Amino acid sequence: MVDSDALKYSILKKEESQEVVDFLAQHFYPREPLVKTLHTVLSVLETAVDFFKCYQNVDRILELAMITVPEKMSGRGVGRRLVQESEHLACQQGCQLATSQATAVPSQKLLQRLGYESLYTLDYTTFEIAGERVFDVDKMLGTTSAKVMVHELKPEDKQLHSKE
């Protein structure tokens, strides 16, 4: 059985981008409750919080986006490791803050367990585009909101985290 310790984390190369697009099409979008309106929701979330105003001593920010793993790998620490490795690299590049627009319950729970706080919540039950509600939350596997989440990175994050 493969777990998070067996994975290799690397920086994406340009020639690998189609493989990533294919992976997202297979594993992210089918499990994402926002497929049709994802970009609109992300635009709202991205403008909801001015991180540089909220965190005046911050000048470099890591933005975590579209974190997903194959469903068969769920529960093995892979998502946790992706976040931690990203934080590690971000700290090496001088980032002091990590942010994410968590659009589904699994990513919200993962980030919360890793110390992220919610700064803004977009309620799917009342969200409208052009005056019309766009989500049927009864079909969204328990996801009723998206959250802008944040975690202050500290010098100890420059070292890889141990297993939790």
Each residue's pLDDT tens digit in the chain (164 positions)? Answer: 566 666 676 777 889 888 888 887 787 767 665 565 777 888 889 899 999 999 999 999 999 987 888 888 888 999 999 999 999 999 999 999 999 999 889 999 999 999 999 999 999 999 998 898 888 888 888 899 999 999 999 876 555 544 44
User: What letters, b where the CB count within 10 A reaches 16 and e where it falls short, cover 118-150?
Assistant: eebbbebeebeeeeeeebebeebeebebbbbbb
What pLDDT is stored for residue 160 in this prediction? 54
SS3 call for 71: helix
In DSSP terms, 61 is beta-bridged to 97
What are the boundaries of each domain within the chain?
13-158
From residue 15, give the alpha-carbon distance in Å to each of 6, 19, 49, 59. Answer: 24, 8, 34, 30
Amino acid at 126: T
The top-level CATH class assigned to 13-158 is alpha beta
- Specify the pLDDT at position 122: 94
Which tokens is 157 given? 């994050």
Query: Would you state the pLDDT for residue 12?
Result: 76
Q: Is the pTM of this model over 0.95?
A: no
**What is the reported pLDDT for 139?**
84
pLDDT on residue 164: 41
**In the sheet where 117-123 sits, what is the strand order?**
61-64, 97-102, 145-152, 117-123
